[in-house]
Amino acid sequence: MNVTIVDYQSGNISSVINSFTEVAKGKINLEVTSDIKKIKFSDKIVLPGQGSFKSCVDSLNQIKGLVDTLKEFAITNKKPLLGICVGLQMFADIGYEEAETKGLGWISGKVSKIDNQKGKFKLPHIGWNEIEIQKESKIFKDIKNKSHMYFVHSYEFIPEDKSVISATTNYSSKIVCSVERDNLFGTQFHPEKSDKIGLKVIENFLKL
Amino acid sequence: MLKNRIIPCLDVKNGRVVKGINFVELKDAGDPVEQAKIYSDGGADEICFLDITASNENRETIIDIVRKTAKECFVPLTVGGGVRTIQNITDLLLAGADKVSINTAAVKNVDFVEEASKKFGSQCIVVAIDAKKVSKNKWEVFTHGGRNKTGIDVVEFAKKVEEDGAGEILLTSMDKDGTKSGYDIDLLKIITKSTNIPVIASGGVGTLDHLYDGIVKGGASAVLAASIFHYGEYKIKDAKEYLNSKNVSVRL
């Protein structure tokens, strides 16, 4: 199996590489690239994302043909793609971090700043929080409800169609912490930094 | 509910842990990678390395340690000490660090925090502030491991780094550091109240009660400790169970 971690020159993806390498343990061919050809012929794609919504979208758009290739892979061909953090947020139509920015538009919705209730909640939302599973999800196989995952973000994805939400977490309000539609997966938390339980999420994705 | 984090900190000098854990099961008590793994397996919410190597020539050593640790520990890894340039940050992040903590450079170069958070994102920029009490309810920022006075008020500085895009503040009381008499709660309170980003309490932990005070009385989002874990007095698990028994939410 060929799995590609999309390296689009935005943010730090070392931890994503390390954790997938650990789980794959040589059994899976792991590529870290932005090479369109390699992406096209992958079986699965991981789309990480760090920094702002705008900077990630801008970086994706910098690489000619990348957005179309990803769309063909995940939306047209419905092959498995996992977006992590801003990688998930970019599924939205629009994001408001830094400046109003058009997203990939794969799942209708917006990405806006978490309501900190006038300073009652510190931002970024950093640390370990419990996930509340909302629907059965392939990537949560054998993962208990209320498991702890590591989060670090100030913006949240608000999808129009709530049926895509596979888990939420409580911080100021119920924040979307993962989505699933067909073979499109996204986590707001960082499975690569969420200890053994996070590695289990990665394993579930790789086993699809 | 967001959990309060417990962060063990390892001081590393020329590639070796200073004041390391003295567990019998350790093969090499000075190996930072092995110690980090023990902490991570024991339930540490994050791991922090503080590089106290004096010379610049040995920068490669810490980078190598980070590279090895990141392949074995899958919890967030913060590295501080000698982070002065954008290149330093790039090197550490590429090696596998998730966050860097900036101390002296945040004071010396007023644009550095902003520049770094714009480039890498707030999520990986921690500003480490060393504070010393100068009069009643007044603290001053010190640099170079607490040796140099800056004349800068800690509250003003904390607000500035938040504005510049720091994701977290690691607040160390120089008065309390090494005393084992507990965190400076007044200092913590004033900083957690005047900023809206998470504050990590540091300096002075001697008992598990001190961790409780840092969170409950001081308002810290995370507590950092070195010696109580290093000498095996307490394990991370002991600290978590204790806090949990006192209704402080932690990841168990």
Q: Of A127, A194, A196, which has the smallest distance from its Cβ to B2's Cβ?
A: A127
Contact yes or no for A14 and B40 at CB 8 A: no
Pairwise pLDDT comparison (A26 vs B129), residue with the higher score: B129
pLDDT digits (tens, 9 = 90+) for A73-92: 999 999 999 999 999 999 99
Query: Does some domain include residue B252?
Result: no
Residue B251 forms contact with A (CB below 8 Å): yes
| Interface ipTM > 0.90 | yes
Query: Does some domain include residue B148?
Result: yes
Mean pLDDT of A5-29: 92
CB of A186 within 8 A of CB of A83?
yes
User: With 60 as the cut, is the pLDDT of residue B22 above it?
Assistant: no
**In CATH, A2-207 is 3.40.50.880:** yes
Query: Does some domain include residue B251?
Result: no
Name the minimum distance, in Å, from the CA of A46 to any CA of chain B.
18
Query: Does some domain include residue B27?
Result: yes
**Cα B147 to Cα B183: distance, rounded to the nearest angstrom:** 20
Q: Of A15, A51, A154, which has the smallest distance from its Cβ to B98's Cβ?
A: A15
Calculate the dihedral angle through the C-alpha atoms of A14, A19, A25, A27, rounding to the nearest 10 degrees. -90
Return the bridge partners of A110, or none: A94, A158
Query: Does some domain include residue B51?
Result: yes
Residue B25's pLDDT band (cuts 50, 70, 90): low
Contact yes or no for B2 and A171 at CB 8 A: yes
Query: Does some domain include residue B174?
Result: yes
What are the domain boundaries of chain A? 2-207
Active-site residue identified among A97, A177, A180, A190:
A190
CB of A129 within 8 A of CB of B3?
yes
Range with the poorest average pLDDT among B28-37, B43-52, B131-140: B28-37
Q: B50: which 2 tokens?
A: 């503080």
Residue B29's pLDDT band (cuts 50, 70, 90): low
Please name the residues in contact with B121: beta carbons below 8 A apart, sequence gap of 6 or more: A11, A50, A51, A52, A55, B167
Q: What is the widest separation between alpha-carbon atoms in chain A? A: 49
pLDDT digits (tens, 9 = 90+) for A184-200: 999 999 999 999 999 99
Is A85 a residue of the active site? yes
Sheet with A173-181, edge to edge strand ranges: A29-33, A2-6, A44-47, A81-84, A184-187, A173-181, A165-171, A132-133
- Pick the residue from chain B with its C-alpha nearest to A21: B71
pLDDT digits (tens, 9 = 90+) for B188-223: 999 999 999 999 999 999 999 999 999 999 999 999
Q: Of A14, A55, A127, which has the smallest distance from its Cβ to B5's Cβ?
A: A127
User: With 90 as the cut, is the pLDDT of residue B98 above it?
Assistant: yes
| Predicted local confidence at residue A26, as pLDDT | 82
| Predicted local confidence at residue B30, as pLDDT | 83
Residue A208 forms contact with B (CB below 8 Å): no
| Predicted local confidence at residue A12, as pLDDT | 83
Residue A69's pLDDT band (cuts 50, 70, 90): very high
Contact yes or no for B3 and A123 at CB 8 A: no
User: With 60 as the cut, is the pLDDT of residue B93 above it?
Assistant: yes
Neighbours of B197 (CB within 10 A): 22
Q: Which residues of B touch A153 (CB under 8 A)?
A: 123
| Predicted local confidence at residue B57, as pLDDT | 65
- H-assigned helices in A75-185: 86-89
Strands A173-181 and A184-187: antiparallel
- Is the peptide bond preceding residue A124 cis, with omega within 30 degrees of 0? yes
Domain of residue B113, CATH code: 3.20.20.70
**Cα B43 to Cα A126: distance, rounded to the nearest angstrom:** 17
Q: Quote the strand ranges of A23-141, DSSP E.
A: 29-33, 44-47, 81-84, 94-95, 101-102, 109-113, 125-130, 132-133
| Residue type for position B242 | Y
Q: B176: which 2 tokens?
A: 């309390």
| Predicted local confidence at residue B145, as pLDDT | 76
**Cα B150 to Cα B83: distance, rounded to the nearest angstrom:** 18
- Range(s) of the domain holding residue B103: 5-245
**Cα B60 to Cα B69: distance, rounded to the nearest angstrom:** 14
**Cα B249 to Cα B252: distance, rounded to the nearest angstrom:** 9
Mean pLDDT of B224-237: 88
**Cα A177 to Cα A168: distance, rounded to the nearest angstrom:** 5
Query: Does some domain include residue B227?
Result: yes
3-state class of B130 per DSSP? strand
Q: Which residues of B touch A151 (CB under 8 A)?
A: 2
| Residue type for position A38 | K
In chain B, the number of structural domains is 1
pLDDT digits (tens, 9 = 90+) for B164-176: 999 999 999 999 9
